[in-house]
């Protein structure tokens, strides 16, 4: 890219990773914890590579952001089903004109993007990512906080009592069996998402709090796998891609910050922690490398914005026809 320096190339593959990370990724590619069923012949043929607009259409037509509602089985039979919001998320929130998805990447440090991020109509953040003390770089507005079941369950996040989670609408997800069967998932969650959900709702009954239907994670996983020439990790996509698709369902235009690393690219995992690990940016458990390849292809903003701001621009699903 010459004067632009290095930016994400949309053909990243596990062979380009360092030795240690490549091993970890290969392990996950061989492991199949969630029972993914996809015949090998699916990978065999190297299909025609879709253009950005073609990919956007696939995402729009084949991934639907569905949340659990009280009448869905088996929840309908449980006394706590009434804690679930009666209407699905996509009917309750938005539509918004312009939105920001703030990855938690270490490269947000010293970005000075806070003002720009806060100028959006809605801002999505992930897991335990704070704003207090980091306003200059990440802003202070939180419209949606997208959290995984691990954050809800692990002792050190103090999910039930920390004020971090009390602003914005919460949306939680948990890696589920590939079947996306709600009964099967209910008996086999990765972390106790339902127990924690019920507890949180009792403590904060006024806050809107959704649970993502697991079909969303696997529909999205299929889009990533079907558009890659090699087998990807058989684990759900990262929160980053899930949150991005969620906002594409609510907004006219979505700006994603530091998902594709800018010139500030660093091995620092999160902007709010000292911990360093290249796996945070390149993926280990999640097929993150491949997710980034697709986001690069779908980007409608200039490459220069990636380099300087770590900014990608994606159109909302309601703004284009297929
Ligand atoms: O680590 P966590 O899942 O909370 O971060 C939110 C999302 O931000 C990740 O799922 C990933 O998509 C993205 N991320 C990234 N690079 C990093 C850290 C996070 O792309 N270094």
Domains, the chain, in order of start with CATH, read 2-319 (3.90.1480.20)
- Per-residue model confidence as pLDDT tens digits over 53-79: 999 999 999 999 999 999 999 999 999
| Ligand 1 centroid distance, CA of 80 (Å) | 32
With beta carbons less than 8 A apart as the criterion, state whether 8 and 292 touch. Answer: yes
**Does the structure show a pLDDT above 70 at 45?**
no
| Ligand 1 centroid distance, CA of 25 (Å) | 16
CA nearest 214: which of 233, 187, 196, 232? 187
Is the Cα dihedral 66, 71, 72, 78 positive or negative? positive
**Does the structure show a pLDDT above 90 at 46?**
no
**Does the structure show a pLDDT above 80 at 125?**
yes
Helix (H/G/I), strand (E/B), else coil: 292: helix
**Ligand 1 atom with minimal separation from the 292 CA:** 20
Separation CA 192–CA 142 (nearest Å) = 25
- Distant-in-sequence, close-in-space partners of 198: CB < 8 Å, separation ≥ 6: 80, 83
Mean pLDDT score of the chain: 95
Omega within 30 of 0 (cis) for the link into 95? yes
From 100, 104, 295, mutation site for ligand 1 pocket: most ligand atoms within 8 A of C-beta: 104
312 lines ligand 1 (CB under 6 A): no
283 lines ligand 1 (CB under 6 A): no
Of all protein residues, the one whose alpha carbon is nearest to atom 7 of ligand 1 is 240
How many Cβ atoms sit within 10 Å of the Cβ of residue 213? Answer: 22
pLDDT band for position 284 (cuts 50, 70, 90):
very high
Separation CA 182–CA 302 (nearest Å) = 41
| Ligand 1 centroid distance, CA of 104 (Å) | 5
Separation CA 180–CA 178 (nearest Å) = 5
246 token code pair? 């969620």
Give the pLDDT of residue 178.
98
Give the pLDDT of residue 48.
80
127 lines ligand 1 (CB under 6 A): yes
Give the pLDDT of residue 1.
47
Of all protein residues, the one whose alpha carbon is nearest to atom 12 of ligand 1 is 240
């Amino acid at each position: 890219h010459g004067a632009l320096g290095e930016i994400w190339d949309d053909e990243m593959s596990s062979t380009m990773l360092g030795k240690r990370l490549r091993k970890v990724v290969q392990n996950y590619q061989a492991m199949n914890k969630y029972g993914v069923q996809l015949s090998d012949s699916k990978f065999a043929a190297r299909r025609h590579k879709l253009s950005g607009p073609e990919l956007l259409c696939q995402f729009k037509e084949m991934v639907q952001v569905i949340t659990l509602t009280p009448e869905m089985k088996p929840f309908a039979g449980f006394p706590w089903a009434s804690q679930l919001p009666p209407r699905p998320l996509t009917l309750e929130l938005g539509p918004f004109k312009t939105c920001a998805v703030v990855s938690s990447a270490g490269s947000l440090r010293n970005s000075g993007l806070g003002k720009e991020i806060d100028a959006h109509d809605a801002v999505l953040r992930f897991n335990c990512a704070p704003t207090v003390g980091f306003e200059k770089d990440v802003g202070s507005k939180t419209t949606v906080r997208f959290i995984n079941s691990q954050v809800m369950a692990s002792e050190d996040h103090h999910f039930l009592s920390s004020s971090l989670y009390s602003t914005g609408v919460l949306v939680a997800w948990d890696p589920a069996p590939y079947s996306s069967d709600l009964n099967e998932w209910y008996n086999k969650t990765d972390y106790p998402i339902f127990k924690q959900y019920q507890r949180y709702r009792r403590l904060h009954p006024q806050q809107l709090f959704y649970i993502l239907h697991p079909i969303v994670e696997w529909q999205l996983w299929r889009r990533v796998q079907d558009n890659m020439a090699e087998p990807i990790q058989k684990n759900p996509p990262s929160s980053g891609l899930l949150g991005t698709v969620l906002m594409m369902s609510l907004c006219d235009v979505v700006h994603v910050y530091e998902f594709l690393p800018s010139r500030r690219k660093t091995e620092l995992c999160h902007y709010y922690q000292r911990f360093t690990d290249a796996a945070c940016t390149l993926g280990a458990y999640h097929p993150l490398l491949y997710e980034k390849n697709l986001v690069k292809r779908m980007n409608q903003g200039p490459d220069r914005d990636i380099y300087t701001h770590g900014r990608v621009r994606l159109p909302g699903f309601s703004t284009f026809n297929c």
